[in-house]
A and B are shown apart, each in its own frame.
Chain A
Amino acid sequence: MPKTLYQKLWDAHVVHQEDPSSPALLFIDRHLIHEVTSPQAFTGLAERGIPLRRPDLTIATVDHSIPTLVGRSFPLKDAQAQAQIEALEANVKAQGIRYYGPDSGHQGIVHVIGPELGFTLPGQTIVCGDSHTATHGAFGSLAFGIGTSEIEHVFATQCLLQYPSKTMAINIHGALPEGVTAKDLILAIIAKLGMDAGTGYVLEFRGEAIRALSMEGRMTVCNMAIEAGARAGMIAPDETTFAYLKDKPLAPRGQAWEEAVAYWKTLATDEGASFDAVVELDATTLQPMVTYGTNPGLACGINENVPSPEAPPSHTQASDLADALDYMGLTAHQPMKGLPIDVVFIGSCTNSRLEDLEAAARVAKGRKVSPNVRALVVAGSQVVKEQAEVLGLDVIFKDAGFEWREPGCSMCIAMNGDAIEVGQYCASTSNRNFKGRQGKGGRSVLVSPAMAAAAAIHGKLVDVREVQKEAIHA
Chain B
Amino acid sequence: MPKPITHISSRCVPLNKDNVDTDQIIAARFLKVTSRKGLGEHAFSDFRYMEDGSPNLDFVLNQPQYAHARILVAGHNFGCGSSREHAPWALVDYGFEAIIATSFADIFKNNALKNGLLVIELPEAVVSRLRRDCDANPALRVDVDVEAQTVVIENQAEQHFEIGAFWKKCLMQGLDQVGYTLSFADQIKAYEDQRPAFA
Q: Are A153 and B107 in contact (CB under 8 A)?
A: no
Q: What mask results when residues 412 to 435 of chain A are scored 1 for a CB within 8 Å of chain B, else 0?
A: 011100000000000000001011
Bound-complex Cα distance A436 to B195 (A)? 44
Question: Which segment of B3-11, B142-150, B174-182 sits at the interface?
Answer: B174-182
Q: Closest CB of chain B to A231's CB: distance in Å? A: 5
Of the residues A21, A23, A145, A414, contact of B29 by C-beta under 8 Å: A414
B146 → A minimal CB distance (Å): 16
B129 within 8 A of A: no
Our pick among A161, A231, A413 for the contact of B28 (Cβ within 8 Å) is A413
Cβ 8 A contact of B77, one of A145, A150, A153, A199 = A199
Measured CB to CB, the nearest residue on chain B to A255 is B197
For A61-81 the 0/1 string (1 means CB < 8 A from B) is 000110000000000001011
| A16 sits at the interface (CB 8 A) | yes
CB-CB < 8 A to A147: which residues of B? 83-85, 88, 107, 110-111, 114
Q: Is the CB of B31 within 8 A of A415?
A: yes
When C-beta atoms are compared, the residue in chain B nearest to A53 turns out to be: B188
Chain B residue nearest to A149 in the complex (CB): B114
By a CB distance below 8 angstroms, the chain A residues around B110 are 146-147, 150
**Given A21-B166, A64-B31, A149-B114, A16 contacting B23 (CB threshold 8 A):** no
| CA–CA, A195 and B34, complex, Å | 31
CB pair B81–A48 under 8 Å, yes or no, is: no
CB contact under 8 A between A260 and B198, given known A25-B188, A156-B181, A320-B19: yes
| A27 and B105 within 8 A (CB) | no
- State the total of A-B contacts with C-beta under 8 angstroms: 179
- Residue contact A145 to B83, C-beta cutoff 8 Å: yes
Stretch of A37-45, A92-100, A349-357 lying at the B interface: A37-45
Say yes or no: is B158 at the interface (Cβ < 8 Å to chain A): no
Contact of A231 among B103, B106, B115, B184 (CB under 8 A): B106
B141 to chain A, nearest CB (A): 28
Contact A15 B166 (CB under 8 A): no
How many angstroms between the C-alpha atoms of A120 and B29 in the bound complex?
A: 29
Task: Give the interface centre of B31, B76, B115, B165 by most chain A CB atoms within 10 Å.
Answer: B31
| Residues of A close to B182: CB separation below 8 A | 156-157
Residues of B near A22 (CB, < 8 A) are 165-166
**CB of A348 closer than 8 Å to a CB of B:** no
Q: Give, as a whole number of angstroms, the nearest-CB distance from B6 to chain A.
A: 20
Q: Which partner residue on chain B sits nearest A156 by CB separation?
A: B178
Indicate whether B64 reaches chain A with its CB closer than 8 angstroms: no
Q: Provide the residues of chain A in CB contact with B32, threshold 8 Å.
A: 36, 65, 78, 80-81, 83-84, 415
**Residue interface bits B3-46, CB-to-A below 8 A is 1, else 0:** 00000000000000011010110011101111110000000001
Contact partners of A287 in chain B: CB under 8 A: none
Task: Collect the chain B residues with CB atoms within 8 Å of residue A48's CB.
Answer: 178
Residues of the A chain whose Cβ atoms lie less than 8 Å from the Cβ of B180: 161
Within 8 A of B (CB), among A20-34: 21-23, 25, 27, 29
Which positions in A face B, CB cutoff 8 Å? 15-16, 21-23, 25, 27, 29, 36-37, 39-40, 43, 48, 64-65, 78, 80-81, 83-84, 87, 121, 123-124, 129-131, 133, 144-150, 152-153, 156-159, 161, 163, 195-196, 199-200, 226, 229, 231, 252, 256-257, 259-260, 263, 295, 317, 320, 413-415, 432, 434-437, 440
Further contacts, 6 of them, CB under 8 A, given A27-B191, A157-B178, A195-B77: A23-B166, A37-B85, A81-B32, A83-B32, A200-B106, A260-B196
